[in-house]
Amino acid sequence: MWPGPKAERRDSDCVYGSMRMGASSLNHLFLTDLHSLPWFINVSESQGPGTILQSFSFNCSSHTPTLELLHVQPPTTFFNPPSLTRWQGIYVGKMTLSSSARLDALTVNHYELQLRFTCGNHVMEGPLSVDVQRDPGHIQCAGRFASPAGEIIQVPETVKPGARLYTLLLPGQGAQMSITSAQDPPYFPGPFSINGQGWLQAPSQGLKGQAQKVFQLQILVNFGQGRSCCGMLTVKVLPAPSSQVSFLQQAQNITIPENLVPGSKVVQVQARGFGVRYEILSPVPCRLFSIGRVDGVVRTTSPLELAQAPDAAVTRLRVKAFERLRPWASAELDFKVDVQSVNRWPPRCTPALLATQIPETTPVGTVLNTFTCTDPDSPGSTLDYQLLFHSPAGAASLYLQDRVLEVNATLDCDTPGACFHHAASILVRDGGQPLMTTEVPVLVMVTPVNEFAPACVPRTFRVREDAGPHALLGSVVGKDMDYPHDSIEYSTPGGSATFAVDRLSGEVRLLGPLDYELQKFHRLTVLLTDHSQDQDPTCHRSGSCTITIEVEDVNDHAPECEPPFQELTIHTHLGRSMEVTRVSCRVPQEPQRLAFSYSIVGGNSWSQFSLQGAVLVLNDLMLGPSWPEQPHTYELLIRVADAGPSTPHLSTTATVIVHLVPWRASTVATSTHRATVTSMMTPLLVTDTEAFWQPEPWFVVVLTVTSALLLLALGWLLSRLLWGLAQVLQVPSKPTQALLLNSIQGTEGSVEGFMEAPRMETPQAPSSVMSLHFDGRAQDPRTGRDYLFNTHTGARRWL
């Protein structure tokens, strides 16, 4: 088993002691420790050769174990192969630093050692990580200067007095350097000197004539607090060159772009000479440029980012050309390298994408976002911003003022296609060469807001009262200024048993029956509710309007006559029209309906009756063969129809039975008798009036005078009448029948089954006596003349 590392510190040395292991079998412990790898060891850079880094203790009783160091990364000779010794039956392995170990955390701070342990047939490998920790108190000289052989430099004897010959590179700052070896003349032409920057300078007398001499200089570097190091520097003076080294080109200024990658060629210098080599004398060290030792090509060694390293804008280089075999034969060239800023990076903006959502009621001037953009190539430079519209093209709803994006116009979602989104972009340009731009996409979603309530115009629908169920009366047309404009639902508050409104179309339909006589007008309140017009689906607005439904009258009730059946007895007078009865009809359900048409449709076979409106009139009777001598019964059928504008025209039939009795002078009594109607008819009380003639007094006087004159005339004519009497008595006397005047026209046909009442037997006086007696007086209604008449014979005498 390999136990974990444990370090014990003694004084200023870092010593790592051994770790004891617990008792266990070899294989189990070894496998367990191996699974715990890798191990990490922290070592101070101040540790020197022989320092024990790690101790291993394990059992391997049946075989002789081995512990090997396979390899080290990065490769180095700082580590000795691990030792393995047996002590009290336990094998102890150690890792130590070699004699060449010079740990430097600034150079390499991590080593990884791959170890292999073998015990019989069991072979295990595992890494051991060594981390070199920085020790601020440990400063040492580095390079060949600190090696036992020291550093050897060659200088020509023609070097200028006080010229810099060598630069000593030391860790840290503030070190004091001095030459501790003797520089006594005459061997030394003068003392060499070294300053605080580590520059070794030639003697003030120069080295002319000191060719082939070698000067060994022991240099002491004191870091303070008792810390110091020393090294050897050997200066060989070379004779003056036989030929002169010179550059082919003169000093020049070189301009390069900053976007050159490390290793790019800047310029190539060329010098005349044999086996010329090149090096950079200034600046030292030169972190931005290097020169090819053989070809003289100056190349970049690091990125020339002016934004990160503004001091790289101008670099003054001093290049030395010398012969390889005679380094003292040299020449120097100074030139300036100007690094020009290159516009390589477009502006960077925050946010890089703007997607926002605003309601359509957002006020003008509302700030949507403020963009912050910078130019990586030139921080702090002024950038140009431009707003570009994509969809809809040319929209003016947004406005960019400097870097602030604002709402520029009223956002309206109430027109088709205007409320979906506004796609634009912010174009940001820098002022570099070439011009670099950045485009920031902008997507502004405008959400609808339910601003307006739906409305409809009050309307009036007309419908016949006999319209059937589900009849379409009309449509309620709602309007909403919000988009979409037809997202309206219709309803009736509280419901209606007579009418229904379609929820989507607004169609008004009939559900129940209508009655014009009960209600002519219906008022229906329709509620309109919008939907799908707001981002919030629960946001609704509503309005209402009143619909008036006018019921059109339909003639659906026939007239009714009171009474529907009449029986009358009329005593007629010759040549006189008279009113028989008045037909009284009405529509009980529609008392306002008063216009009726009347016609006799049956029983008026001799056209003795006519209708004057609702009045049944017996036409005036004229002398003639049709004058009834005996009572006669007429059963008249009168058709009563409504005559208004309403359709259809309904009718009913009234029955009037008229007993027509010819008038006689002996009939002077007026009697009233009750007519009983059998069958299913309602009994009707009929008043029968018998007319008789009662002359006026003046008529009696006139009649008396006339009679006297007549007697005188009769006496004169008596003789003549006697001889003609026989002839007159032989001629049979025929009573003159009354003629019916003003016959009724326009009857619509006879009624089948008309039944005549039996004639009443009336005693008749002798015709010879009755014909000479005028027992009645009347006035002709047409001419207005008075006349006398005989009720039995019908004879008339005009007055």
Q: What is the pLDDT of residues 356-398, one digit of tens each?
A: 988 888 888 899 999 999 988 777 788 999 998 887 766 678 8
Label residue 671 by pLDDT band (50, 70, 90): very low
- Contacts of residue 510, defined as CB under 8 A and 6 or more positions apart, other chains included, come to 463, 467, 468, 469, 470, 471, 473, 498, 499
Label residue 202 by pLDDT band (50, 70, 90): very high
| Pairing outcome for strands 265-268 and 297-300 | antiparallel
- Contacts of residue 3, defined as CB under 8 A and 6 or more positions apart, other chains included, come to 19, 20, 21, 33, 56, 57
Rounded to the nearest 5 degrees, what angle is found at the Cα of 786, between the Cα atoms of 781 and 789?
100
**Beta-sheet strand order (sheet of 421-429):** 354-359, 437-447, 421-429, 384-391
CB 375 within 8 A of CB 430: yes
Cα separation, 455 vs 436, whole angstroms: 56
Label residue 693 by pLDDT band (50, 70, 90): low
Average pLDDT on 181-195 reads 89
Q: Given a cut of 50, is residue 33 above it in pLDDT?
A: no
Label residue 700 by pLDDT band (50, 70, 90): confident
Label residue 197 by pLDDT band (50, 70, 90): confident
Label residue 760 by pLDDT band (50, 70, 90): very low
Cα separation, 723 vs 711, whole angstroms: 18
pLDDT of residue 389: 83
Instruction: Delineate the domains of the chain, giving CATH numbers in brackets.
Output: 40-133 (2.60.40.60), 151-238 (2.60.40.60), 246-340 (2.60.40.60), 348-447 (2.60.40.60), 455-552 (2.60.40.60), 560-662 (2.60.40.60)
pLDDT of residue 688: 47
Label residue 113 by pLDDT band (50, 70, 90): very high
Average pLDDT on 413-430 reads 80
Q: Given a cut of 60, is residue 498 above it in pLDDT?
A: yes
Say which residue the tokens 């509280």 belong to: 494
| pLDDT cut 90: percent of the chain above it | 19
Q: Given a cut of 60, is residue 118 above it in pLDDT?
A: yes
Quick one: tokens of 713?
A: 């005339």
Quick one: tokens of 705?
A: 């005078």
pLDDT of residue 466: 84
Label residue 296 by pLDDT band (50, 70, 90): very high
Q: For residues 748, 753, 754 and 759, what is the CA-based torsion angle, rounded to 10 degrees?
A: 160
Q: Given a cut of 80, is residue 749 above it in pLDDT?
A: no
Q: Given a cut of 60, is residue 493 above it in pLDDT?
A: yes
| Pairing outcome for strands 164-167 and 199-201 | antiparallel
Instruction: Look at residues 340, 355, 349 and name the one whose alpha carbon lies nearest to residue 383.
Output: 349
pLDDT tens profile 79-110: 999 988 887 778 888 899 998 887 877 778 89
pLDDT of residue 420: 67
pLDDT of residue 318: 92
Three-state SS letters, 489-534: EEECCCCCCCEEECCCCCEEEECCCCCCCCCCEEEEEEEEEECCCC
pLDDT of residue 63: 80
Which residues on adjacent β-strands are paired with residue 220? 178, 230
Cα of 755 vs its chain's centroid, Å: 89
Cα separation, 516 vs 623, whole angstroms: 54
pLDDT tens profile 454-478: 999 999 999 988 888 888 889 999 8
pLDDT of residue 355: 92
Quick one: tokens of 149?
A: 């052989």
Strands (DSSP E) found in 187-342: 193-194, 199-201, 214-224, 227-238, 246-247, 253-257, 265-268, 271-272, 276-282, 289-291, 297-300, 314-323, 330-340
- Contacts of residue 310, defined as CB under 8 A and 6 or more positions apart, other chains included, come to none
Average pLDDT, the chain: 78
Lowest mean pLDDT among 21-30, 244-253, 454-463, 770-779: 21-30
Q: Given a cut of 60, is residue 682 above it in pLDDT?
A: no
Look up residue 131 and give its DSSP letter: E
Label residue 787 by pLDDT band (50, 70, 90): confident
pLDDT of residue 140: 67
Label residue 575 by pLDDT band (50, 70, 90): low
Quick one: tokens of 20?
A: 């004891």
Q: Given a cut of 70, is residue 582 above it in pLDDT?
A: yes
CB 40 within 8 A of CB 56: no
Question: Which residue has better confidence, 703 or 106?
Answer: 703
Average pLDDT on 641-662 reads 81
pLDDT of residue 215: 93
Question: Which residue has better confidence, 7 or 287?
Answer: 287
Residues in the chain: 799
Average pLDDT on 277-304 reads 91
pLDDT of residue 168: 82
